[in-house]
Amino acid sequence: MLRRLAASTAAASLVVTGWALPARADALPAIPPQAPRITDIDGYPQRNTLPVWPDNPADASLPIGVIPYDDIAPKLNALQASSDRVSARVAGRSSGGYDLYVVTVTAPESRAEAQRQERWKRQIEDDPVRARADRKLLSSYKTPLFVNANIHGNEWEGTDAALRVIEEYSTSTDPAVETLLRRNRLVFNVTSNPDGRVAGTRANANGYDLNRDLTIVSQPETNLIRELAVGVKPIITLDLHGYVSPTLLHPSTPPHNVNNEYDLFIKHALPNALGIEQGLKDLGYAETQSARIPFRDDEPGVWDDFPPIYVPSFSLLQSSIPYTIEAPLNPRGNLTPEEKRRRSGINTDVHEVAIKKSLQYIQDHRTRVIFDQAEVYRRGWAGEPLRDLPDGYVPGWGPEDDYRTEFPRSYVIPAGDRQHSEAAAARLVDLLIGSGGRVWRAERSFRAAGRSYPGGSYVIDLHQPKRGIVNSLLEPGADITERVSDLYAGPAAWSQGLTWGATVDTLWNELPRVPLERVHDGVARGGHPDGRAGYRLDPQDATDLRAVNALLAQGAQVYRLADGSIVVPWSPKHQSLVAASVREFRVTFERAPRHWSGTLLDPVVVAFAGTVEARDTLAATGFAARQVTPATLATTLTDDVDVLLVASTLNPATLTAENRAALDAFLARGGGVVGLETAGPAFSNAAGLLSVTAHAGPGLASGVVNVVNSGGAVTSGALPHSFVAQPVWYTGLGAGVNIEQAYAADPLLSGWWAPATGPGGQSEAAGQAAIVSGTTAAGNGVVLIGTDPIWRLHAKGLQSQLGRALLWASQR
């Protein structure tokens, strides 16, 4: 039985995976540029001639009957030439090198009018109380609508609907359209995944699902989406997808993100969804006579909006009213050309209805939606608690929907010796600012909550307009295991404050009393000691590993100590190389211990069996790497390979004789092995390396876990928490197997891991090994890791543990 009210009742009560690496796989997340000066803002239209791409008969759009990528720029160029309502620009490049098109449709604005619109947009966030009382703003502000189309490349029709609306509104002589464009700006990300559009794949050319990347921002396409979500400040955001029948549209089921001002969202999101549903019925197709609205129609967890990794979930934390729209008819597969075109045509109509109905909703409730967007910001500035909503707040709202957090007063990201990783801290600050948050730097030292902090520490005052996204990124998260029996997808907790490798302190009741300067990016300065004592680097971040690998590539003598740190002896050459490393990577070397001994390292070559996450994590840590498969071991596992990373299934028993011989030769010469999750121990046991028994939790179990580190070469200095996306732990450890890290007695800090007890549950993992290491009789260094250092490039703070494991295993 569905937990929600029937549609009629609710309505009555509511008026490729490509192999090419990114240009900078090791780059910190890009951040949107600082807002331009008001005086630099130009009027509309802002015409740009878009480069035209050559005809591509292999474009996967063509059989579906939708517009091929190479026809988009000519169409937009023609519309710009014929209309003063269309402004198109190339706003970036996809991972595969295609142009990303952003189009603004609005009535013409003089430069002075455009600058006034920008002042009003900023005022709504910066001074919401004044904005809500400004009659001129309420009557003349151009309310923004943002349409993000085709984020999944083989879900095409959102692009066609966007182009249809752009063309209609740019050419219409209907007075209603003219009025609409005087009161609104429509912003379209026309195809946010052109790589996948052309190739017919869900993912981009780098192999990533872009609709899982909004809090990681590892891809150029999601950087643009984030920039638009933050900068446009849309009243409504539409993310256009396919294919779920009947048409699916938000709002979603619980669990809801605990940082949302859900009362201000749901009171608009549900009635607009019902309006879209009616618009679909009015199309007259048999396939559009009903819609699926998860909040109304599904059980908790079936289609939730919990993690802010999706475009709508991220946008909701930006004070937008967001929707995923899943068009109903799949045009892929073994269908006639006519049927493919019929289905894609209906899907395009569906998305057009969603755009137009949402725009109409904004117009019908104009003052209220502006007021409520500003109200989100006002509550943030005031530091008010989240609202406790009564059952029946909207039809179907019940106790299962009550997800709230308590906001601390502030956070401090320390500088100096109290900071675990200066590079990680800078990256985290960039993420917060790029996501719409505000960060300050202390101008001098201070004390807070009984602790001393040096000047230069970052301070995050949570009395700020977008506190929801800031707190969602920094707080540990919630354990929702007992509240919901299902999830649409993980992660069930994320906490970049805990999993990105930086030290972050929570101040529940205090804002440090110290002069603060607002900053617009994170800065890691790095440094090295003077004198001739040698240089020690403790790799606690991927940046540190890149520096180590760069030094090795430049011929420096680099020694690994027993605790996993490295030492470069002093010499004039080394002094120059270390100084250059500090300038390039902003890492911090300390004075080497007076009496040290270690293993001299050589440059490390890693062969990996795995996917794009393994590839890009190795790139982020600076290792020379090549992919291997069970069919290519003979040609890729050559004599120069030092360590084999097993991140996907590699079964020695199923190899051909030639490939098995290559593996045996690699192991016989003492090649190292690092294995992840269950694939690693399965390979280790089959190859006769370390003897362990691997156990796995449920597939959707994910979140932030408490761990205990042993102080060995892999986890020395690591933080006491980790990340899992299906937890794995090891028992039955054979002789010589050392525990590098174990799950704590209470493993799950935040997330979802059901059952709490029983097979695969938290109680079984408690106290068991999460990372183990050992050396075989043949001299193979082996490390097995049951946490998730590579999953979607998510837990960047764990990347250094993988890098340390590779260094340890590669050279014994």
Query: Which residues are known catalytic residues?
Result: 326
* DSSP string of 180-220, one letter each residue: HHHHEEEEEES-S-HHHHHHT-SS-TTS--GGG-TTT--SH
Residue environment code for 117-145, b if the CB has 16+ CB neighbours within 10 A, otherwise e: bbebbebbbebbeebbebeebeeebbbbb
Q: Strand locations in 1-75, DSSP E?
A: none
**DSSP state, 507?**
E
* DSSP string of 327-365, one letter each residue: ES----SS--HHHHHHHHHHHHHHHHHHHHHHHHHHHHT
Helix, strand and coil percent figures for the chain, each rounded to 5? 35, 20, 45
Residues paired with 92 in a beta bridge: 100
The structure tokens listed for 80 are 């710009």
Cis omega (within 30 of 0) for bond into 408:
no
d(CA 688, CA 683): 8
Give the number of other CB atoms < 10 A from CB of residue 393. 16
The position carrying tokens 């591509």 is 56
Which amino acid type is present at position 73?
A
d(CA 776, CA 783): 11
Q: Give the Cα-Cα-Cα angle 730, 307, 297 (nearest 5 degrees).
A: 110
Cis omega (within 30 of 0) for bond into 141:
no
How far is residue 167 from each of residues 186, 361, 529, measured CA to CA in Å?
A: 12, 21, 63
Q: What would you report as the CA-atom Rg of the chain, rounded to the nearest whole angstrom?
A: 27
Can you give 359-380 as a three-state secondary structure string? HHHHHHCHHHHHHHHHHHHHHH
* Residue 697 backbone phi and psi in degrees, to 5: -75, -175
Cβ neighbours of residue 588 under 8 Å, at least 6 residues apart?
422, 526, 527, 528, 537, 582
Which residue, among 642, 646, 616, 640, has the nearest Cα to 628 in the 3D structure? 646
What SS3 state is found at 776? coil
d(CA 271, CA 489): 26
d(CA 575, CA 566): 15
Which amino acid type is present at position 635?
T
User: 252, 295 in Cβ contact below 8 A?
Assistant: yes
Which residue, among 153, 149, 150, has the nearest Cα to 199 in the 3D structure? 153
d(CA 588, CA 622): 17
Which amino acid type is present at position 771?
I
The position carrying tokens 């403790």 is 538
